[in-house]
Amino acid sequence: MDIHRQVKYEEELDKTFLEEIKVLSGAEDLDRCIQCGTCSSSCPMSIYMDSPPRKIIAQVKNGFKEEALRSFTIWLCSSCYTCQVRCPAKIEITEVMYALKRKAIEEKVYPQKFPIPVLDKEMTNLIKNYGRNSELWLILRLYLKSRNPIGLLKMAPLGLKLMKTGRMSLKREAIKERKQLKDLLKFLKEAT
Amino acid sequence: MRDYVYYPGCSLKGNSKHYEESILPVFKELGFPLEELEDWNCCGATAYFSIDDLMATAICGRNLSLAEKRQRNIMAPCAGCYLTLKKANKVLRENSEKARKINQALEKAGCPYHGGIEVKHPLEVLIEDIGLDLIKDKVRYKLKGLKVACYYGCQLVRPFTDFDDPDYPTSLDQLMETIGAQPVPYSAKTRCCGGSLTGTIEEVGKRLNFILLKEAKRRGADVIVTLCPLCQFNLEIFQDKMAKDYGEDVTMPILYFSQLMGLAFGLAKEDLGFNRSIIDLKPLWPKLTNGGIV
């Protein structure tokens, strides 16, 4: 077994990253983290993460930009806010995770076929275009865009059950004032 | 009680029709018929905030504006919608650059928001505005002997609300006691179900829900009572696979609190969406109907 030394020297760290994430997340107290680990021990997803939340916060705080943005962790966060309400330093950890997701997308360092960001994107697109989410359409687009036709087939028995109980609609939902919604998003884009 | 408009969100019009089918008659029975917010748009949930938080807040602002025009507060039965709208409401009321930008865009698009709306979950309305006494008066059949695990999930109790405890809330337990059911101690009551992870990384989603079901079973619950459509869905859909994959049968019906309330109020069970359960309810029926008339 090879052991690789993974060290980053001062000059390799991104010293602006902390401030940037503070602004993006609104978590102004981010650098007050005392590394107590309450977040990691509270997180129900911790065991599936490559870096538990405490490590992510340490990475952000110390300028390990690549490590934080390329982590699996940020996509696994399901926004349950347990870490956030328990944090003794009152850091908005969930908002930090959101900010990291947005930053990773902006810098195109996110796993593009990985189902979680695909779902986020597809749902956002449905809402942008129609004002409403349509569950079946979302699921179809999710499996299509994450290139997982076998996954879709495996869902067939569940789909059947939902159909039988009248819980699956084939209709594409939309609001009446689609123009208003589009205007709203357009005006906001112009202002930023 | 200031009037509320009902904000269904995508789930109550989709896979959780039985939530809508039970919550509307229950509120009507209590003397507060609910009207749907006209032309509401989706809240964007966790998805939109992962992509663009300015836009995500703005589309919520449109819903708040629609309600404000009618001078009504919003009642959102989905915990995801509830949190998202509440979060946007908080941001839009702040004195910040972000709020100014979004509010200006809302005004320009013809849906200005002035910060005058509150967002509430039906459980909050039932406990704080309607009160357990009035609910008790409406009970015709106590659900005696029914052991319930009250599952709150994550987004109702965290982090933008103070109506109940974020770790160990009790309001749903009190409500269930009021209609005669017996809540069991349920330590997993605010442990996350994984949200959309059941659809994206099934292995993780399945395991999280297995833990929730196993704990309810261990505590002797007959049923898990939920208040969020995503929780209800997640707890239900993998039960058959779990027996196979984890070698332990954790089969258990997952019902909405509003379905049980409707039953206790003496409303016809055919009208409360019980037929939409994926889990077989036959073994549960004797327990649901063995209570005597109050």
Report which residue type is found at B161: T
Contact A142 B200 (CB under 8 A): yes
Are B210 and B202 in contact by the 8 Å Cβ rule? The answer is no
Residues B290 and B97: their CA atoms lie apart, in Å, by 59
Say if residue A86 is in the same domain as residue A157: no
Are the beta carbons of B155 and A80 separated by less than 8 Å? yes
pLDDT, average across residues B125-129: 95
B96 touches B90 (CB < 8 A): no
Domain boundary among A83, A106, A129: A106
* Whether residues A15 and A97 fall in one domain: yes
Measured between alpha carbons, how far is B256 from B66 in angstroms, rounded to an integer? Answer: 28
Residues of chain A with C-beta less than 8 angstroms from the C-beta of B14: 134-135, 167-169
Final residue before a domain boundary, out of A77, A106, A135: A106
Would you say residue A31 lies in a domain? yes
Answer whether residue A36 is part of any domain: yes
The larger pLDDT score, comparing residue A103 to residue A155, is at A103
ipTM of the complex: 0.93
Number of domains in chain A: 2
The pLDDT score that the predictor gives to residue A92 is: 97
Contacts of A127 in chain B (CB under 8 A): 41-42, 44, 48, 59
CB contact under 8 A, B194 and A127: no
> Least CB-CB distance to A116: which of B190, B192, B200?
B200
User: What's the order of all strands across the beta sheet hosting B182-183?
Assistant: B182-183, B147-150, B223-226, B254-256
* Residue after which a domain boundary falls, among A79, A106, A133: A106
A90 and A16 together in one domain: yes
pLDDT, one tens digit per residue, over B227-252 is 999 999 999 999 999 999 999 999 99
Which domains does chain B carry?
Answer: 4-120 (1.20.1050.140), 132-289 (3.40.50.11810)
Based on the fold, state whether residues A93 and A128 are members of the same structural domain.
no
Which of these, B244, B238, B124, B112, lies nearest to B174 by C-alpha position?
B124
Same domain, A101 and A163: no
Angle at A68 between CA A66 and CA B209, to 5 degrees: 145
- Domain of A76: which CATH number? 1.10.1060.10
State pLDDT tens for residues A131-156: 999 998 899 899 888 878 888 888 88
Cβ-Cβ pairs closer than 8 A, A with B, add up to: 176
**Domain region containing A152:** 115-191
CA of A178: how far to CAs of A170, B56, B111, in Å?
Answer: 20, 16, 13
Residues A121 and A83 grouped into a single domain: no
| Domain shared by A99 and A120, yes or no | no
Clarify whether residues A94 and A136 are in a common domain: no
For residue B237, list chain A residues with Cβ-Cβ distance below 8 A. 158, 161
Are A134 and A54 in the same domain? Answer: no
Question: Which residues of chain B lie closer than 8 angstroms to A158, CB-CB?
Answer: 237
Q: Tell me the average pLDDT across A88-106.
A: 97
- Residues A36, A102 within the same domain: yes
- Does residue A5 fall inside a structural domain? no
Which DSSP symbol is given to B37? P
Q: What residue type is A16 in one-letter code?
A: T
Q: Is residue A5 predicted with pLDDT exceeding 80?
A: no
